[in-house]
Amino acid sequence: MNPGPHIALSPTALAGGSGSQAVMRALSLLSLVGRGGSEGLGLAWLADQAGVTRPTARRLLLALAAARLVDQDPLSRRYHLGPETYLLGSFAAERHGILHHARPSMLRLAEETGDTVLLTVPQDDHTLCLERIEGSFPVRTYALMRGDRKPAGVGAGALAILAALPPTEAEALRRRVDHLVGDLAPALAADEVQARAQGFAFNQGRIVPGSWGLGVAFRWPDGRPAGALSIAAIENRMQADRRPHLIASLRTEVQQIETRLAALGRKPESDPKRSSA
């Protein structure tokens, strides 16, 4: 398979600090551009968020553009991810793409339950909603949308991830985000204790009244939480008589995802034809 064009960021274009510092700044800008969505992001905002001057930001963005990692819209002058990022992402999806491994489970859950199924992944002290698939039930909750970023523990999926961490690590993480959740902090701490004991997270409309959710975390082979699947629905679809079925379905699909993630670390079996050649 032809791997496509090789990415080379020229040292001249990256001038603006030591070599490693310039590379880190360029990667920081690339990460910021990736979070800009379809509207893109302007130079001034990117420079401010990356902590560099506008001339430095522009020089680094030009280097990234030369490598086709970013694009600049000729009319709006805003920056977007370039075509090379899509190519690299497609190469990485088989091994690292959580969505690649979770999407079949999400589709099955949405079809089976009729409710909204969400994929949440950890991102430093926050979590990111990576995907949202809606079921057939006509009344839906819109408390969490694709691309939404929330503090750790906020929402069923995020709470499941938090509860999957070692207790001391989870406590430290909660303390770091307490100021972001305000009056919700004590309730979320209690919910985490319950989620850890039960093996699933239950959000009884803590964030948005009437929007309830159930979440189960899935793990990498080393035991670290890789993400969580959650089901979100209006309150009357999350009553006690229905919850056990939803939790069982979530656990079944989480097991499927963990099996796929575990297979990534296995060495392929030797081919008898090759070994005898």
Enter the pTM of the model: 0.69
Radius of gyration of the chain (CA): 22
CA pseudo-torsion sign 254, 145, 89, 22: negative
- The answer to whether the CB of 24 falls within 8 A of the CB of 16 is no
Topology (CATH) of 97-263: Beta-Lactamase (3.30.450)
Residue 59 has a pLDDT of 93
Q: What are the residue ranges spanned by the domains of the chain?
A: 19-89, 97-263
Q: What are the helix (H) ranges across 123-269?
A: 156-163, 167-181, 185-198, 243-263
Cα 175 from Cα 263, distance rounded (Å) = 35
Domain 19-89 has CATH 1.10.3720.10: no
The token pair at 95 is 């091994």
Taking phi over 0 as left and psi of -120 to 50 as alpha, with beta for the rest, 119 belongs to beta
pLDDT in tens, 257-268: 999 988 876 544
Cβ atoms of residues 80 and 40 within 8 Å: yes
- Residue 44 tokens read as 């001034």
CA distances to 15, 98, 135 from 18, rounded to whole Å, are 8, 34, 51
Residue 273 pLDDT level (bands cut at 50, 70, 90): very low
For residue range 181-224, what is the model confidence (pLDDT) as tens digits? 999 999 999 999 999 999 999 999 998 999 999 999 999 999 99
Q: Cβ atoms within 10 A of the Cβ of 69, count? A: 23
How would residue 94 be classed by pLDDT, with cut points 50, 70 and 90?
low
Q: Which helix (H) or strand (E) holds 28?
A: helix 19-34
Listed in sequence order, the residues at least 6 apart from 54 whose beta carbon sits closer than 8 Å to its beta carbon are 43, 44, 47
- Neighbouring-strand partners of residue 202: 214
- 113 vs 111: CA distance, rounded Å: 6
Q: Which pLDDT tens digit goes with each residue over 113-150?
A: 999 999 999 988 999 898 999 999 999 988 888 888 89
